[in-house]
Amino acid sequence: MPHSTDPTALLNGIYAFIDPAQVRTDPDSCLNYGRDWTRLYAPNPLAVVLPNSIAQVQALVRYANEHRLALVPSGGRTGLSGAAVACRGEIVVALERMNQILDFDPVDRSVTCQAGVVTETVQNFARDHGLYYPVDFASRGSSQIGGNIATNAGGIKVIRYGLTRDWITGLKVVTGSGDLLDLNRGLIKNASGYDLRHLFIGSEGTLGIIVETTLKLTRPLCEPVVMVLGVPDLDSVMSLYHVFRNKLELSAFEFFSEPALGHVLKKGLHRPFDAATPYYVLIEFENPGQLHTDTALALFEQCAEQGWLADGVISQSEHQAKELWRLREDISESISEHLPYKNDLAVRISRAPAFLAEADALLTREYPDFEVLWYGHIGDGNLHINILKPTAMDHPAFVAKCGAVSEHLFGILQQYGGSISAEHGVGLTKKPYLHYTRDAAEISYLRAIKKAFDPNGIMNPGKIFD
């Protein structure tokens, strides 16, 4: 087939295998499907294509290879690194019509579904079958399983259940070459060579398109309770982590600062208790028949005596637990209007106290006039440090200033062996900083892997690395 650069002719070619109604070029679709939650890049896709079968995805990838068209796989577009942004005339491949749960196996305790199934749909499906899909985060109602896999999404239960990667036992992908690979097929054990499944998990759409997956399920949490504790400083946050984790099996250990809490309070939530403290810790654990209440209260007393906490509350009902969770989960959305500069750092938990002290000193020195919010999954060594744009400041100047500070922050992070992205991915926002986490030799292997799956470079070009 001859190569064409005429957009109309290119789109006409797609109509041969996808219903024209599912190929959109109207401004609204281009805007909505061409961006994610970063809101930093002007969306500018050539078109948005909504396939409804693996065969259609395969035909599209083959067509894109023939015509050297760039493809951007697209799920719920709740990402925070720009990995699903189409700002350079790409074709967005939105998986939302591939939203079927295909199979449930109670013996394997697994569910097989298409990539466009919304995370919460899987969670509800599992619950309706007496089981639990434990990967969870605030965007559960819009994010899709394929997108979660493409970023190896983490969230709020990682301390107990791990990341998305730990729940994927099967993966069907259409590679950048247009081949359909059926990886691992739900097996628990499979020692037959390289596990390509794990290359696609976290690949941010740069190797191919995830079309189907098999997920493991587990038993639900039994009567989980939530404690929110008011804490005087970051060192005490870490002390609480040691004490509570040694005695209780935690399913969450989150933290947030008083300024971060301030933003959710402005949106109508209530303080967990009267005392305002510089930091708060949210702990969740199973408490069947109140089995662990005495232990939790004894730990509370012990930590209060040490001065590691000033006040606290323990949920008395499922409803109250949910309300307490909102204090942490709603932070990100409550600050979105301030166009925050986002950090999603990871360090080994043992190195977190020293890193936090250095990072805190740097940020206090460099951002004397900016509001800096600390929150995140501290029990996983994952910090979401968000810098809010002062209203009067011009956005490009703000991003430039934050970018310059990032170089210092990531320099410190590198000394601690940390990562510039714990769970949001590299995408576009963190691409300039990848070398702080991966050395040149490692990046050259990443490039070689990309070349093997996507020889013509059509899959999400410009994401992770150039």
Q: Which of residues 130-189 bind ligand 2HG (CB under 6 A)?
A: 138
Smallest distance, ligand 2HG to C-beta of residue 384, A: 4
Comparison of 78 and 169: residue with beta carbon closer to ligand 2HG: 78
Half-sphere exposure of 248 (CA within 13 A, CB side): 29
Comparison of 151 and 239: residue with beta carbon closer to ligand 2HG: 151
The candidate with the shortest Cα–Cα distance to 203, out of 178, 174, 246, 229, is: 174
Comparison of 37 and 133: residue with beta carbon closer to ligand 2HG: 37
Q: Which of residues 81-140 bind ligand 2HG (CB under 6 A)?
A: 138
DSSP 254-283: EEEEHHHHHHHHHTT---SSS---SEEEEE
Comparison of 112 and 334: residue with beta carbon closer to ligand 2HG: 334
Interatomic CA distance for residues 99 and 463, integer angstroms: 25
Cα angle: 260, vertex 262, 267; to 5 degrees: 110
Smallest distance, ligand 2HG to C-beta of residue 410, A: 16
Comparison of 204 and 212: residue with beta carbon closer to ligand 2HG: 204
Smallest distance, ligand 2HG to C-beta of residue 3, A: 41
Q: How many residues bind ligand 2HG, per CB under 6 A? A: 5
Element (H, E) at 54: helix 54-67
Comparison of 200 and 325: residue with beta carbon closer to ligand 2HG: 325
Smallest distance, ligand 2HG to C-beta of residue 155, A: 7
Smallest distance, ligand 2HG to C-beta of residue 338, A: 11
Smallest distance, ligand 2HG to C-beta of residue 138, A: 5
Smallest distance, ligand 2HG to C-beta of residue 428, A: 16
String of contacts with ligand 2HG for each residue 378-417, x by CB under 6 A: ------x-x-------------------------------
Contact 174, 58 (CB under 8 A): yes
Residue with tokens 């490692």: 442
Instruction: Give start and end residues of each alpha helix (H) in 330-381.
Output: 331-334, 352-366
Is residue 332 a contact point for ligand 2HG (CB under 6 A)?
A: yes
Measured from each CB, the residue nearest to ligand 2HG is 332
String of contacts with ligand 2HG for each residue 275-314, x by CB under 6 A: ----------------------------------------
Q: Which of residues 336-365 bind ligand 2HG (CB under 6 A)?
A: 342
Helix (H, G, I), strand (E, B) or coil at 69: coil
Smallest distance, ligand 2HG to C-beta of residue 354, A: 22
Comparison of 91 and 331: residue with beta carbon closer to ligand 2HG: 331
The candidate with the shortest Cα–Cα distance to 43, out of 55, 24, 30, is: 30
- Rounded to whole angstroms, what are the CA distances from 177 to 63, 98, 110? 10, 21, 29
Interatomic CA distance for residues 31 and 448, integer angstroms: 33
Interatomic CA distance for residues 155 and 140, integer angstroms: 10
DSSP state of 316: S
Contact 226, 270 (CB under 8 A): no
Contact 436, 420 (CB under 8 A): yes
Comparison of 171 and 335: residue with beta carbon closer to ligand 2HG: 335
- Rounded to whole angstroms, what are the CA distances from 444 to 264, 272, 451, 465? 43, 49, 11, 10
Interface with ligand 2HG (CB under 6 A): 138, 332, 342, 384, 386
